[in-house]
A and B are shown apart, each in its own frame.
Chain A
């Protein structure tokens, strides 16, 4: 048990990820306001992206740009660039999702005059 807690404390980034992810999930599930649901969703997506980025971090390493052609040095000198690239694409996907969802929310507001889930469901009956 002690080792487990110690292992967690050595990885504060993972703790931060878990807190952000669960917080976002909680907001998405519990809140009745559609925009607040989107904020929770945004937190969930961002926490996953944050997790991806932190997996590439390495102490004492630098940006993956060759400092010299003749003596490039080993792989341990550079951080892994691939998670950053994946993150860029994931951010694009996230922005697109947010765009579509905000368009839907504004259409719902124009149609039903409310952003509260219960009121909208009432008007659907």
Chain B
């Protein structure tokens, strides 16, 4: 039973997504409960699989019994299991939160909407579990296609944003596939564990270097690395308020995770000299992305857009940690990916609450309303503290380990980039908080915050605090799981 858990985690939302048009044939109102049930089952199964992986070691699932490297392999190690738990719980929370939104906006399209949402979540778990490069490509495309359609749901301006995202995303996928083709022609295998055996001797090969760079460009578009980020702010701003939390939380993070896997599990695992140049490229681009991301966040007034640029900056922070090439840096990057997923989800969820309750989309709108709900205000403060990186939140400990890895390498440029990012993050959150808590003289009366809003923001704020308070345990699990990788 435990052996099949990774496949089950994927299959539950996937089968529901395909069966949903049949289940909801008579009555569209069945969609929501069915989707909620599927995601709850998925979350429970992923927790079970995490428990079994922590107790009995990793699960390597070979589909239909064909042993790798010939067959298709899924690897549920500690990192993949933790990521899938995070993904399924965040998906569940963001689905729970969306209940007060009026269903008329979907205009009879709720069946495809929920179907695509479930497809997105199952694709995410596929990317995280997949143990070979080509499977990762296929699942990344499932995720991307669902994301294009979800972004386009509100119509109007969102259609253009979705089209832009599609052009960029499809080009990124082509670049990634090209890199995979290069790797395959150089090594003759696609399985990550098998590649790890063969690439160390081939690091001088131009095909491997070229393949690595093409994959980096492709994944760079998917993870919205700074010069390739143009699709992200438009797509996240125009996406429906119900779907943007899950998109913002996980789209860029899975691409980051894939890149980390390639960097450390494929090319960085041998005894030979590590390709230092690639790691320097990664952290330099990360430093540029984090500083320019926060500067752009400061220059905007639309709340969702500010948060989107904050997310771009945090992708840069993860890359700074990963680019140190050390064991500490890798662990720091992985821990920060989890933190950032929770923080982005919480930020876009709060942006959705502000739109729904207070009709506030921009900083100026915030000035003219009074946030009376202590749930919303409190959760916002917690998320802001974590984004800035103040203890005892998860963001602080994530940033702490990244700083630690930079100091260990005596990499003071990266250190300066982190400090500048932190200060500017403080600056743009000060702008938001100042307008949020200033009392407005003639603010309109707003109805009480619905229970699902209160519950979901409280759950995410608690998760951020929990990631901080139990950071010791999580980091020690990650350290153990990445033993032997990195310098």
Contacts and interface: CB of A to CB of B under 8 A. Distances in A.
B163 A101 contact: yes
A51 B155 contact: no
Nearest to B152: A104
A111 B156 contact: yes
B128 interface: no
Which of A55, A90, A121 is packed against the most chain B CB atoms within 10 Å?
A90
Contacts of B67: none
B69 to A, nearest CB: 11
Interface in B166-182: 166-167, 170-171, 173-174, 177-178, 181
A96 B174 contact: no
Given A111-B155, A120-B160, A97 B181 contact: no
Interface in A84-125: 86, 89-90, 93, 96-97, 100-101, 104-105, 107-108, 111, 120-121, 124
Nearest to B169: A97
Contact of B166 (A55, A83, A101, A124): A101
B152 A97 contact: no
A44 B145 contact: no
Contacts of A77: none
Contacts of A52: 177, 181, 184
Size bracket, chain A contacts:
20 to 34
Contacts of B138: 89, 93
Contacts of A79: none
> Do most interface residues of chain B lie in helix, strand or loop, or is the interface mixed?
helix
Interface string A33-62: 010010001001100100110010000000
A111 B159 contact: yes
B185 interface: yes
Nearest to A38: B167
B157 interface: yes
A51 B181 contact: yes
B166 A48 contact: no
A122 to B, nearest CB: 12
A52 B211 CA distance: 13
Nearest to B181: A52
Contacts of A25: 171
Contacts of A86: 134, 184
Nearest to A86: B134
A55 B174 contact: no
Given A48-B177, A104-B152, A111-B155, A41 B134 contact: no
Interface residues of B, number: 26
A107 B159 contact: yes
A21 to B, nearest CB: 8
Nearest to A120: B160
Which of A55, A86, A124 is packed against the most chain B CB atoms within 10 Å?
A86
A42 B149 CA distance: 19
A93 B141 contact: yes
Given A28-B167, A41-B167, A48-B177, A97 B159 contact: no
Which of A28, A55, A93, A96 is packed against the most chain B CB atoms within 10 Å?
A93
Contacts of B145: 96-97, 100
B113 to A, nearest CB: 14
Contacts of A101: 148, 163, 166-167, 170
B296 to A, nearest CB: 20
B184 A97 contact: no
A101 B149 CA distance: 9
16 contacts: A25-B171, A44-B171, A45-B173, A48-B178, A82-B184, A83-B184, A86-B134, A89-B134, A89-B138, A97-B141, A101-B163, A101-B167, A104-B159, A107-B155, A120-B160, A124-B160
Interface of B: 134, 137-138, 141, 145, 148-149, 152, 155-157, 159-160, 162-163, 166-167, 170-171, 173-174, 177-178, 181, 184-185
5 closest residue pairs by CB, A with B: A93-B141, A55-B185, A52-B181, A108-B159, A44-B174
Given A41-B170, A97-B166, 14 more contacts: A25-B171, A41-B167, A44-B174, A51-B178, A52-B177, A55-B181, A86-B134, A86-B184, A89-B134, A89-B138, A90-B137, A101-B167, A104-B166, A111-B155
